[in-house]
Amino acid sequence: MTGAGGEVLLDIRGLRTHFFTDEGVVRAVDGVSLPVRPGQIVGVVGESGCGKSVTALSILRLVEPPGRIVEGQILFEGRDLRTLPERELRALRGHRISMIFQEPMTSLNPVFTVGDQIAEAIRLHLGASPAEARERTIEMLRRVRIPSPESRVDAYPHQMSGGMRQRVMIAMALSCGPRLLIADEPTTALDVTIQAQILELMKELQRESGMSVLLITHDLAVVAETADQVAVMYASKVVEQASVRELFGAPLHPYTQGLMQARPSLKTAKEERLRMIPGAVPNPLFFPPGCKFHPRCPLAVDSCRSVEPVLRELRPGHWVACDVVHG
């Protein structure tokens, strides 16, 4: 999937991140390839345990033991982050590549003011003086629309609401002008009206700065609203990948179709029964052989139980890992 259609900012190739636990090897990410082009918002969507967050953490080598990247390349601006010396990687983190997480309270240090925490990155990466850093911090808080940033800069995280804290996280992530923002479930902990504010803000800042965004979420609707490209993950692999319009217009993988029909939308008629995907997401210690979705799949045939499908381009730019469906 790489190489098609111009320049790539981040190119994840054949990534495998495994966890070596006492109970066995958890193949959390098992052969994921994903290109992110400049200025694109790429959504990675999937249910809990599908490997989407571990994929995100692997990019900046933030996976902790017993987890380890065992295979693959993570090319960022042409350099492989997997083999980059720790010093050089540290210079990239929070500078060229930033990350925001689901729960802003646990990602902010409670004993420092939000201003100190943002200014730290600016001084470290941009070599700004304390006065310059403070000024830029206030400017960043203003850009993420925190009211009266001149006084909020001295507030502590606990003095802010969840939505405010997520804005601070975004201000911090964008303070050094990153080329790539990795956002791991950035609105999942927020109420729907606050979620709308934050997504709108992220889109606007992305347009202004031209950075790329890797948006990790469990919510297909958030992807539809925000992203340009989307990858659907199931059981440690990408099972479908396309532009957002293509994927929502013509979902091909039975899992993607099931996900889309399992949730009622505001338009679902009362008389309709919701589509059910039987069973549950498989335990990564005991993945089924063949296609990992086959025990839950309405289309499964005999070969699905033994042969693991690979991504195939079934329509232009639309890749599907299923040997049963056609384009």
Partner 1 sequence: MSALLEVRDLKKYFPVRAGLFSRVTGWVRAVDGISFTIGAGETLGLVGESGCGKTTAGRSILRLIEPTSGQVLYQGTDLLTLSPAEMRRRRRDLQIIFQDPYSSLNPRMTVGAIVGEGLLIHGIGSRAEREEIVRETLRKVGLDPAYINRYPHEFSGGQRQRIGVARALALNPRFIVCDEPVSALDVSVQSQVVNLLRELQEKYGIAYLFISHDLSVVKYLSDRVAVMYLGQIVETASSEEVYARPLHPYTQALLSAVPVPDPDRRQARILLPGDVPSPLHPPSGCRFHPRCPSFIKGLCDERPPAMIDYDGHRAACHAVEQKRRP
DSSP 253-321: SHHHHHHHHHS--TT--TTSPPP---S-PPPGGGPPSSSTTGGG-TT--GGGGTPPP--EEEETTEEE-
**Does residue 200 interact with partner 1 by CB under 8 A?**
yes
Number of Cβ within 10 Å of residue 13's Cβ equals 18
Among 106, 129, 159, 161, binds partner 1 (CB under 8 A): 161
Please report, in angstroms and rounded to a whole number, the separation of the first and last CA atoms in the chain: 17
Site track for partner 1 across 241-280, x = CB under 8 A:
---xx--x------x--xxx-xxxxx-x-x--xxxxxx-x
Edge-to-edge strand list for the sheet holding 41-45: 97-100, 180-184, 212-217, 41-45, 229-234, 237-243, 318-320, 312-315
Which residue type, as a one-letter code, is found at position 8? V
**Does residue 204 interact with partner 1 by CB under 8 A?**
no
Nearer to partner 1 (CB atom), residue 109 or residue 283:
283
> Angle, to 10 degrees, between the axis of helix 114-126 and the axis of helix 162-174?
10
Which residue type, as a one-letter code, is found at position 83? T
The two structure tokens encoding residue 118: 């943002």
Among 4, 62, 221, 285, binds partner 1 (CB under 8 A): 221
Q: Is-contact 2 11, C-beta < 8 A? A: yes
Site track for partner 1 across 8-47, x = CB under 8 A:
---------------------------------------x
CB of 125 to partner 1, least distance (A): 31
Nearer to partner 1 (CB atom), residue 94 or residue 104:
104
Nearer to partner 1 (CB atom), residue 1 or residue 260:
260
CB of 103 to partner 1, least distance (A): 14
Q: Could you give the CA distance from residue 98 to residue 169 in angstroms, rounded to a whole number?
A: 10
CB of 196 to partner 1, least distance (A): 4
CB of 13 to partner 1, least distance (A): 27
Among 8, 164, 202, 239, binds partner 1 (CB under 8 A): 164
- List residues binding partner 1 (CB under 8 A): 47-48, 147, 161, 163-164, 191-197, 199-200, 218-222, 224-225, 244-245, 248, 255, 258-260, 262-266, 268, 270, 273-278, 280-281, 296
